A and B are shown apart, each in its own frame.
Chain A
């Protein structure tokens, strides 16, 4: 831990002071203000729309953070050779990966806490203005949805570390991470579709069905962390589902970081 903590801390500081993060925060604030204006213009379901927009804004901002600040934090180390100052200390390559990942996870959590405060404020103000539209509203469900949306971001960040451990360009890392995100968001629905093709009137080939299954089991199923609908409508959610989702996220993230550490062990920095 004496080695991991300094790496995590300088990664966090380097990330939190990056100007790009202020741009992301500013955009999030504007969207949350827009949430208030939008809700004043629609005649019904204000409560559900307000919660949905607030949660989506926080998640989208988190995604931007992972794609454009997180990937850059690791890429800069490799491109500008700042990794020399780390590897020239008594630090192994796997320790570098794990420490760097902890720093990035800390950055995501801090950013999500900050964004969540504004999202909550936005919902609170809308609720105050239109109390009649919040008959089934539940703060615990909103908080749970915000907390759960942090996990896929940390998981995606772990995947970006995995991709960066064997690719030579930050652009390829970005593309692979985005592909993983798109597959992760849609694989559950696509799998359901190819498993009951008659319902949609489609005829997928056996190869397509196999490919969809491979993608489903290889890439993380990010839709399990999305409980926006339940939060917006205050629908019941079994505690076992939350536990399973958290466990799934933690295990998948750990595996991705472990694989990144193994690949990075062989990496050279000429």
Chain B
């Protein structure tokens, strides 16, 4: 469903600055209908990999595809819903207008957009604020409207970058329930997090990335046993990678 093959990416900030390897020969395959958790410390390369999948940045080497189509093909994104880390939207638009934009650009008819907007705004408890400009929204509300935007076209694949980031317990539960609901519908969910409990609760498989390199991929059952927690596994991998945090 999602295939990443030999992807490397370096960033160079300004003239004369040294390069930072964000990803190094990343190979990853996410199967149809599974919930895959991408785990790693801050600066590990999780968001870089996701941005390559969304064609926001280009890899230096390697290729990525979703549903068999190269991610550089814009049509690929017709079936993908994306929530960025700390999402920002246009300040002066309302939630309704934002979802109209998302639906129409994804090929939905006006009536389908309206039905889906009503459904999603009710689901994310944003009905009362649907005509308010987004600049008046709290962080949690922005995150929820971001999720609604990601799902407005009923995508087969949901790519969520730190979806629980900055949410209160109610918001976290809402996102958790959503991931489980998407899983029940047979959708593929790829989400990044550095919160271990989130990964443990929802994922079928887990990938651990540290310092731009994929250190481990396996099913949660195989990684976690009675005495070994996901935290133990993660810390062991961080230690093996020599701390894992990039300068």
Number of A interface residues in the complex (CB < 8 A): 27
Partner-binding segment picked from A83-91, A111-119, A234-242? A83-91
Among B58, B80, B91, which residue has its beta carbon within 8 angstroms of that of A14? B91
Q: Are B51 and A269 within 8 A (Cβ)? A: yes
A186 interface contact, C-beta 8 A = no
Chain B residues near A87: list those with CB within 8 A. Answer: 54-56
B107 lies within 8 A of A6 (CB) = no
Q: Does A167 reach chain B (CB closer than 8 Å)? A: no
> Contacts A84-B56, A87-B56, A92-B74 known; A10 to B93 CB distance under 8 Å?
yes
Q: Are A268 and B84 in contact (CB under 8 A)?
A: no
Complex interface bits, B43-78 against A, C-beta within 8 A gives 1, otherwise 0: 000001001001111100000000000000011111
Query: For residue B87, which residues in chain A have a CB less than 8 angstroms away from its CB?
Result: 84-85
Chain A hits for B106, CB < 8 A: 89-90
Q: Mark A73-89, 1 if CB is under 8 A from B, else 0.
A: 00000001110111111
A17 CB contacts on chain B under 8 angstroms: 92, 133
A105 beta carbon closer than 8 Å to chain B: no
Once A6-B100, A84-B84, A90-B106 are accepted as A-B contacts, the answer to whether A269 and B57 lie under 8 Å apart by CB is yes
CB distance from A65 to the nearest CB of B (A): 16
- Is the beta-carbon distance between A2 and B107 smaller than 8 angstroms? yes
Chain A interface, DSSP helix/strand/loop, else mixed: loop
Interface size in chain B (residues, C-beta < 8 A): 34
B residues within 8 A CB of A18?
A: 92
Minimal Cβ-Cβ distance residue in A for B13: A270
Asked if A88 and B77 make an inter-chain contact with CB atoms under 8 angstroms apart, the answer reads yes
A-B contacts, 14 listed (Cβ < 8 Å):
A6-B104, A6-B105, A7-B105, A10-B101, A13-B97, A14-B92, A17-B133, A84-B54, A88-B54, A88-B82, A88-B84, A90-B75, A90-B107, A95-B74
Binding site for A on B (CB under 8 A): 11, 48, 51, 54-58, 74-78, 80, 82, 84, 87-93, 97-98, 100-102, 104-107, 133, 149
Given contact pairs A2-B105, A13-B97, A268-B57, enumerate 7 new A-B contacts (beta carbons under 8 Å). A10-B90, A17-B133, A84-B54, A87-B54, A88-B80, A91-B105, A269-B51
10 smallest CB-CB distances across A and B, nearest first, come from A17-B92, A88-B82, A89-B105, A268-B57, A90-B78, A6-B104, A269-B56, A80-B88, A84-B84, A14-B90
